[in-house]
A and B are shown apart, each in its own frame.
Chain A
């Protein structure tokens, strides 16, 4: 039954999308307009004009972008909570609910990391990917708010899925950072960075950052898998059964374990580490999309 709460939730999600759009535009605007062509006389290198970034001019836009992101996060949070109230369970009973909560976790991971690192250069990607996620969710994946099927009625739903969503948010953030690393490395190998990329931290910092994110969240992912196993034991009669979702969770776990070993023990850095990080993150995404949409197995519930 579709309740007022569910409609309220939808309004919140739509409003959050509007704010993420503004945030995206502001971020793009900021990056574009911070580029300053030099005074003709002083800054030429050979025949090339060296453009610089001057963030003083766009500081206001940048603030607007971040503020909109925070507001969007809050509205989305309200949307997720209302969805939960309407369905009378934690809002991750189907893929629509999982997507909006995942987008919330991803934004949350970005905003939390923003407090510690100057990550505003990532804002364009973050707001864009959140927009895409929410857009797909509300157009393709939307399902009316409904009660949970009996197998999902468990405290473990909260524990297992929360930890999986948070891990996913951080893994994807690490992926974005690693991808930026690879892109920048290519750019730098051809000469100095163009002006609009000067804001992005050095390769070394990016390399460290993606590692830190993974190392931070790997124990949580391990916990998510183990919590899932404990839940499976009481719901399905076995704690591990190589269900497609379980298999891919295991593959993701193994891939990140390999990444951590490669970095800590073998000393991989830079490009190879970034590729491994992206590979591991892709297994997570694959698990989310493939197993939910096309896969069979015990993790598919009531039409997505």
Chain B
């Protein structure tokens, strides 16, 4: 029972050294690399909060029990989860531990002389022997210089080496991955992202209250917002009449920044740029412009109300809330730009442009609950405590009257969703990406090889060695020999 196995004392330092060696070993790096690939998979199969928060919400309502476990395991936030972070942080530590010593070694090797000519050249690749002549070493030396070999002159022999670019590229590639990671983390710590719906004819001012959603990186805040204003002058969406698919979206805007006002356009692939901040055109829809009057005929509300598109033909839903009417009224509505009817669904839209717009709604009265402190969606109206007082539809210019008042659809304006993104880290990631490709190219296509030439009493010997069995040595030595024999 009391027999204990003798464990050689490692000590803390020894243990740390052992752990470090294990972590930076190639095998560990390889396992971590594969693990990262595997760990990325669930995020593409399970809806993710960062890409599709709506789908996550639907999933949770449909599978509440399972979702609890998913949430505990961060499966709705795979790419920010502790386990995913653990894998890539370990991988990058392992990478640094592997690449930095190798970089030092390589730096030394690049400044060192090529190794001495081996004694027995005949055992090497592409061995050749021919009659000597007095100037052969001079010619060899010139040829090496022309072809940018590094040469060690040993009197009777030359040892030449070329192709350090292979390892240089390899190291650059791995270092650039670290740069990309720095760029990504920098962007997420100091960046911001926000969305704002802006009606055509309205102005967007870059302050927190203008946004519908807004999020900042951990190390930044509201003060970082670039001061600019965007007035949306006009927006045109073109659709293909045959397929109803969108062909082009263009927004014409007037931008004010640093006291300078200028006209610009925003398109899907052409955002506006203010330093590290860019403004994208991400979505569009329609805002019915309505006037709501109370029973005395006084205007209780007037203005555009953005409706949310539900399909490719922009059938949209929304809510109009009129807290200033007495009693308070609200409308649960659906808007169709090109009206038609289907047996199953009622009103549908058959084209995304405003060919035959129509607003359909039910009218509700009662306390809208806007002062209750419970946040409400602007697109939905909670009708559980309200009474329905009417059901109607209007086309532009038409008025619908109900006992408590009336609603007029004046006109319809488009809205656009401006997405504002600030990412100060992306330039580092871009540089990292470019260096990564260049590094890869030179590391995968580069060939490290050595060529030796020695003059002996009975002739000239030439031989070579290609590292990693790289092809092309044979042709190179052939060229070399041709130059030596003056055939060039």
Binding site for B on A (CB under 8 A): 1, 144, 146-151, 153-154, 156, 215-216, 218-219, 222-223, 226, 229-231, 233-244, 247-248, 250-251, 254-255, 257-258, 260-262, 264-266, 283, 291, 295-297, 302
Contacts and interface: CB of A to CB of B under 8 A. Distances in A.
B247 interface: yes
Contacts of B267: 150, 153
B15 interface: no
Contacts of B247: 147-150
Nearest 6 CB-CB pairings of A with B: A254-B37, A150-B268, A226-B433, A247-B44, A219-B440, A244-B44
A48 B419 CA distance: 75
Interface of B: 26-27, 29-30, 33-34, 36-37, 40-41, 43-44, 48, 50-52, 55, 78-79, 184, 193, 240, 242-243, 245-249, 267-271, 278, 280, 282, 419, 421, 423, 426, 429-430, 433-434, 436-437, 440-441, 444, 468
Nearest to A301: B245
Contacts of B34: 254-255, 258
Contacts of B79: 242
A296 B184 contact: no
Contacts of A242: 40, 43-44, 48, 50-51, 78-79
Contact of B468 (A258, A264, A291): A264
A167 B43 CA distance: 24
Nearest to B425: A239
A222 B51 contact: no
B175 to A, nearest CB: 15
A262 B26 CA distance: 9
Contacts of A147: 240, 245, 247
B36 A254 contact: yes
Contacts of B421: 237-238
A215 B40 contact: no
A222 B437 contact: yes
Given A147-B247, A150-B269, A266 B50 contact: no
B440 A222 contact: yes
Contacts, number: 129
B278 A230 contact: no
Given A226-B433, A261-B29, A248 B270 contact: no
Contacts of A297: 51-52
Contacts of A153: 248, 267-269
A237 B249 contact: no
A264 B50 CA distance: 37
A296 B52 contact: yes
Given A154-B269, A237-B421, A239-B423, 17 more contacts: A153-B248, A222-B436, A230-B430, A234-B269, A234-B270, A239-B426, A242-B50, A242-B78, A247-B40, A250-B37, A250-B40, A251-B40, A257-B33, A258-B33, A258-B34, A296-B52, A297-B51
Contact of A223 (B43, B50, B246, B437): B437
Contact of B282 (A215, A216, A237): A237
A279 to B, nearest CB: 9
A296 B444 contact: no
Given A234-B269, A237-B271, A238-B423, A265 B37 contact: no
A149 B246 contact: yes
13 contacts: A153-B267, A226-B433, A230-B430, A234-B271, A237-B280, A238-B193, A241-B51, A247-B44, A250-B40, A255-B37, A264-B468, A266-B30, A302-B245
A256 to B, nearest CB: 10
Contacts of A240: 184
B249 A146 contact: no
A222 B441 CA distance: 10
A198 B249 CA distance: 60
Contacts of A241: 50-51
A233 B440 CA distance: 23
Nearest to B52: A296
A239 B243 contact: no
A224 to B, nearest CB: 10
Given A241-B50, A242-B50, A219 B441 contact: yes
Contact of B37 (A218, A223, A251): A251
Contact of A150 (B30, B41, B249): B249
A258 B28 CA distance: 11
A231 B270 CA distance: 10
B44 A248 contact: yes
Contacts of B243: 144, 146, 302
A234 B419 CA distance: 12
B387 to A, nearest CB: 40
B230 to A, nearest CB: 15
Contacts of B429: 229, 239
Contacts of B268: 150-151, 153, 235
A187 B344 CA distance: 61
B437 A226 contact: yes
Contact of A1 (B43, B48, B184, B242): B242
Among A231, A262, A291, chain B packs the most CB atoms within 10 A around the CB of A262
Contact of B242 (A146, A226, A260, A265): A146
B16 to A, nearest CB: 25
Contacts of A234: 269-271
Contact of A262 (B30, B51, B193): B30
B58 to A, nearest CB: 12
B33 A254 contact: yes
Contacts of B36: 254
A222 B243 CA distance: 35
Contacts of B242: 1, 144, 146
Contacts of B437: 219, 222-223, 226
A237 B433 CA distance: 18
B187 to A, nearest CB: 9
Contacts of A222: 436-437, 440
Contacts of A226: 433-434, 436-437
B280 A236 contact: yes
A243 B79 CA distance: 11
B444 A150 contact: no
A235 B280 CA distance: 8
A220 B426 CA distance: 21
Contacts of A223: 437
Contacts of A264: 468
Nearest to B27: A266
Contacts of A216: 444
A262 B354 CA distance: 59
